[in-house]
């Protein structure tokens, strides 16, 4: 029997799609190594317990009102969740620890929760329970984003036109205009919250980067190890171990797949802006015309409620809808990992959420970058300027720009070169999760580390 068989790990995910998937994936990886898994989760955006019959799920109240659940400011929502969940989480965790016999109590090895929970560190310490922190962004973003309060204080606002493209040495490879968008949207609350995240991470027993590996983040990993002085694990693209769709909070429209089957190899542009981005009606129409005018077949995810002021796509005029249907399919939510794997997909117009970016890299799908907030701007710079496996729209949500980018990617020599570089990056990252690859070894080390508690 493996040493880990008698041990239990408690997971506490943040209730957002981009954070839920990696936490559940980590749970599956640890379960496959013999650990029992208990997931404590909020009522808001609760994971579907029936999809994971091997885990134990415990729900806690989160106290969010209906309005708060629709907050666009994710950091504000997270600070509220941190306040409201503290007491119910403490009660649940304490009960869990006490309910065990003295011998069985040893079996709860540790708590693994998201870096965005900050009250859990002092709580775990008081209960004498090791806490590991999971982070689902790129290591360079996690490391760099603690500099935001300093940048805000020092010199960033207002930004002159001539400075827009200047580099930001404190937070590479972003440009000043990227940072401006970050600082513009945030408030003083964020500065205090970031400081709490930093302290709670530094005091933890270790940091796990799911969806990152040496191949994608080598330099930042070296620096992060110096900054935090705790064990750091980069266990690689988590969705390559188990299908991510089982932790989807929305129901994927499976009709995408037979539709894709009918398309030619590498002919379809997939379009999705993730689970949080919202756009205006005018922007939706620009995207619609850009896609149609490119003449390339498209699969477009428009989340219900993601176009401000409308329920879905009802504001697209009927005659425009007719033209769109000639070439494309629009769905509310797609089985994205399967879609990106499909032979018909030739490009991905993306918001560059980190999960989506990594999923695209792992399937070798070149990108057109349209980032909106938070880590998306940094990820887009890596894709377009460091790895050079995509084109950047530079926030121009205009039909001509979108059409031009799709044509460049699908029809021109430049597109072929991008595709070639993407193929090499895919192979490199793919090797990291294979036996003795960097991510594979990191996961082994993590399992040994948890077993040692
Ligand atoms: N996703 C999906 N279907 C969709 C759109 C997205 O399953 O139609 C998944 C996608 O595969 C990814 C996650 O939702 O794993 C989005 O996470 P990401 O970090 O890319 O962006 P966020 O939603 O956090 O902005």
On the question of pLDDT at 385 being above 70, the answer is yes
**Which ranges of 186-254 does DSSP label H, i.e. alpha helix?**
188-202, 214-228
Q: What is the ipTM of this complex?
A: 0.99
Residue 22 beta carbon below 6 angstroms from any ligand 1 atom: no
Residue 328 beta carbon below 6 angstroms from any ligand 1 atom: no
CA of 89 to the centre of ligand 1 (A): 27
Residue 339 beta carbon below 6 angstroms from any ligand 1 atom: no
Query: 343-383 pLDDT, tens per residue?
Result: 999 999 999 999 999 999 999 999 999 999 999 999 999 99
CA of 402 to the centre of ligand 1 (A): 21
Kindly state which CATH superfamily the domain 250-430 is placed in: Glycogen Phosphorylase B; (3.40.50.2000)
Atom of ligand 1 nearest to the CA of 334: 8
On the question of pLDDT at 194 being above 90, the answer is yes
Mean pLDDT of 113-141: 97
Specify the residue for token string 């070439």.
327
Query: 218-232 pLDDT, tens per residue?
Result: 999 999 999 999 999
Beta strands per DSSP E along 211-344: 232-236, 268-272, 298-301, 328-331
Radius of gyration (Cα) for the chain, nearest Å?
Answer: 22
Q: Which fold has domain 8-143+186-241+433-451?
A: Rossmann fold (3.40.50)
Residue ranges per structural domain of the chain: 8-143+186-241+433-451, 250-430
Q: Are strands 108-114 and 131-135 parallel, antiparallel or unpaired?
A: parallel
Determine which residue's CA is closest to atom 7 belonging to ligand 1.
336
Residue 116 beta carbon below 6 angstroms from any ligand 1 atom: no
Query: Edge-to-edge strands of the sheet including 268-272?
Result: 328-331, 298-301, 268-272, 345-350, 367-369, 390-392
Coil, helix or strand at residue 365: coil
CA gap 21, 15 in Å, rounded: 10
Atom of ligand 1 nearest to the CA of 274: 23
On the question of pLDDT at 40 being above 70, the answer is yes
Strand partners, 348: 270, 367
Residue 18 beta carbon below 6 angstroms from any ligand 1 atom: yes
CA of 369 to the centre of ligand 1 (A): 15
Residue 324 vs residue 237, higher pLDDT: 324
Beta strands per DSSP E along 155-307: 206-210, 232-236, 268-272, 298-301
Q: Is 189 exposed, middle or buried (0-12, 13-18, 19+ CB in 10 A)?
A: middle
Atom of ligand 1 nearest to the CA of 331: 8
Mean pLDDT of 112-140: 97
């Amino acid at each position: 029997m493996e040493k880990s068989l008698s041990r239990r790990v408690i997971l506490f995910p943040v209730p957002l799609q981009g954070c839920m998937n990696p936490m559940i994936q980590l749970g599956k990886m640890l379960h496959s190594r013999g650990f029992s898994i208990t997931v404590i989760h909020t009522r808001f955006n609760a994971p579907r317990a029936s999809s994971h019959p091997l885990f134990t799920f415990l729900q806690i109240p989160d106290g969010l009102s209906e309005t708060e659940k629709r907050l666009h400011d994710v950091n504000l929502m997270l600070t509220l969740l941190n306040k409201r969940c503290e007491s119910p989480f403490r009660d649940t965790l304490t009960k869990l620890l006490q309910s065990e016999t003295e011998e069985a109590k040893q079996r709860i090895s540790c708590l693994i929760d998201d870096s965005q929970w900050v009250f859990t560190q002092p709580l775990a310490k008081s209960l004498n329970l090791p806490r590991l922190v999971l982070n689902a962004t790129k290591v360079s973003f996690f490391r760099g984003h603690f500099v935001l309060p300093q940048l805000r204080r020092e010199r960033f606002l207002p930004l002159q036109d001539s400075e827009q493209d200047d580099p930001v040495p404190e937070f590479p490879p972003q440009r000043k205009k990227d940072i401006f968008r970050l600082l513009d949207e945030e408030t003083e609350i964020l500065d205090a919250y970031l400081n709490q995240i930093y302290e709670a991470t530094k005091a933890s027993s270790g940091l796990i980067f799911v969806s990152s590996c040496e191949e994608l983040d080598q330099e930042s990993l070296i620096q992060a190890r110096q900054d935090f002085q705790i064990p750091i694990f980069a266990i690689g693209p988590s969705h390559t171990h188990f299908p991510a769709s089982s932790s989807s909070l929305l129901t994927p429209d499976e009709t995408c797949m037979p539709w894709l089957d009918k398309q030619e190899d590498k002919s379809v542009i997939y379009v999705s802006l993730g689970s949080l981005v919202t756009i205006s009606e005018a922007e939706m129409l620009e995207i619609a015309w850009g896609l149609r005018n490119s003449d390339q077949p498209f699969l477009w995810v428009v989340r219900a409620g993601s176009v401000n002021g409308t329920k879905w796509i009802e504001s697209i005029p009927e005659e425009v809808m007719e033209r769109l249907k000639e070439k494309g399919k629009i769905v509310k939510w797609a089985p994205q990992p399967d879609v990106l794997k499909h032979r018909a997909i030739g490009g991905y117009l993306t918001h560059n959420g980190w999960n989506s970016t990594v999923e695209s890299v792992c399937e070798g799908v070149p990108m057109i970058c349209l980032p909106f907030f938070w880590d998306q701007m940094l990820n887009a710079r890596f894709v377009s300027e460091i790895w050079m496996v995509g084109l950047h729209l530079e926030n121009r949500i205009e039909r001509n720009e979108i059409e031009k980018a799709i044509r460049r990617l699908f029809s021109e020599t430049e597109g072929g070169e991008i595709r070639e570089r993407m193929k090499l990056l895919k192979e490199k990252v793919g090797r990291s999760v294979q036996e003795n690859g960097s991510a594979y070894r990191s996961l082994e080390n993590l399992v040994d580390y948890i077993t040692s508690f």
